[in-house]
Amino acid sequence: MRTFLKILAALVVVGVIALLAFIFVPVQTTGPKTALAADYQVPDGAGAYAMRLADCAACHTAEGGKPFAGGRPIESPFGIIYSSNITPDNETGIGSYTLDEFRAALYDGIRKDGAHLYPAMPYANYRKLSEEDVRALYHYFHDELKPVNNQVTETKLDFPFNQRWGIRAWNWVALPDAQFVPPFQDDQLNRGAYLVQGPGHCGACHSPRNDLFAQAGYTAADDAFLTGGEIAGWSAPNLRSGASAPQSWDAEQLALFLATGRNAHQAVTGEMTLVVEDSLQYFTDDDMAAVVAYLRRIGTNGPAPESSAPASSGDKSPAGTPTPATSENDTSKLLASADPGMALGPRLYLDNCNACHFNDGKGASEVFPPLDGNSLVNSQNATGLISVILNGAELPSTAKRPYRLRMPGFADRLSDDEVAALATFVRQGWSNNAGAVTADSVSALRKQGGEQAAEQSGGR
């Protein structure tokens, strides 16, 4: 018995030592994956373009704040995370970072002080960045950008998520190799794969999460990659299923949507608005063509390029062409009848939506998006649609489409019951076949929006 207790005590001591080492021993960071010449110089304009490819502004610029000065609240399943100041300010930004320390933040999620960044920073995807793009980004943020002294709000998550050392264990099981492996024997497709998997970090939103909240797949070799995700209740649509909206568009319409946030079938909403405005509109024509070619190549309508297994045909974020609940003509005729005895949902549609989206729900190309077959409308989670009805939406101003178009919000005009009735009608009209919306869901989202607005304005 005494021997057993000695062994047990020894194991406890070893376990404590191992835990302390796990917490306090510095993490070995990832070095450059490609050796560049000692006299390598970042080409003119490469830094700013790499910043656009990586979409740094969307997260690191707070609403109404200075570019890249941080402080933007980012919702996560564990609480609000505030983005860092990434201007070259020595006190509150990253001005003192060396190139190796900057690369460690991009590849490993490690700050200069050795603390782990929360994976709201998509370092799992940035691990595929080329050394040329890492150097370009460092040059831009260290040498080109003006410093801004801005101490951002400290992220304070509840226990145990406030223990950043725990992210070290998460990294062991969640991070892919720090290397982009070209999957094709085609330069354009390889460029598209690199942009989507790496700097564009499309999978961070458009791929589902596993039980550890890690991205389910980082390349098309994984059937789950880009098959739809959810961000703060908003559905990021499936980009691979043959039934998904992007795969049902031709290459021209897909490129137009990515570059302008609008096309004949859809208009951008939610976080994707920032992606278009801050990143995608700046892609060169060649890079945009590469992205479109890659997305179409990995769709289930085409061959699976990176694995012998076929890509998933299940659309985890229902979109595209759902099974009709009622015929398109039935809905259009109902609205055209203007029957004073019609139900609340269609009556609200006539009063508030019909002038732009019309009886047939088809809208107007690149101006008023169609509601019939709309992926946001048909999403399994109705949060996005409810939010748009309550708060409105605005199309971004881009080089190809410089005019902004705004849909007004109806939060002050419609009650929770009315919003629920309107949303349910839209989700079940024409060829749409999505679930009903309850007044309780609307009430919860309205309350949540008010609380977030108060928090962001400083009223806690």
Neighbour-count burial of 258, counting CB atoms closer than 10 A to its CB (0-12 exposed, 13-18 middle, 19+ buried): buried
From CA 141, how far away is CA 246, in angstroms rounded? 34
* CA separation for the pair 203, 405 (Å, rounded): 28
Joined tokens for residue 166: 């725990």
Do residues 310 and 233 touch, judged by C-beta distance below 8 A?
Answer: no
The DSSP letter of residue 62 is -
Known binder of ligand: residue 59?
A: yes
**Closest to 72 (Cα-Cα) out of 63, 396, 326:** 63
Round the CA-based radius of gyration of the chain to a whole number and report it: 24
60 labelled binding-site residue: yes
Sign of CA dihedral 280, 285, 291, 296: positive
353 in a labelled binding site = yes
139 is in an annotated binding site: no
Residue 423 and residue 437 in contact, taking contact as beta carbons nearer than 8 Å: yes
Contacting residues for 22 by C-beta, under 8 A, at least 6 apart: 165, 168, 169
Gap between the Cα atoms of 121 and 54, Å rounded: 11
Residues across the chain? 460
Is 201 part of any known ligand binding site?
A: no
Give CA separation, 398 vs 51, 64, 308, 372, 394, in Å. 17, 19, 39, 26, 12
List, as residue ranges, the binding site.
Answer: 56, 59-60, 202, 205-206, 353, 356-357
List, as residue ranges, the binding site for heme c.
Answer: 56, 59-60, 202, 205-206, 353, 356-357
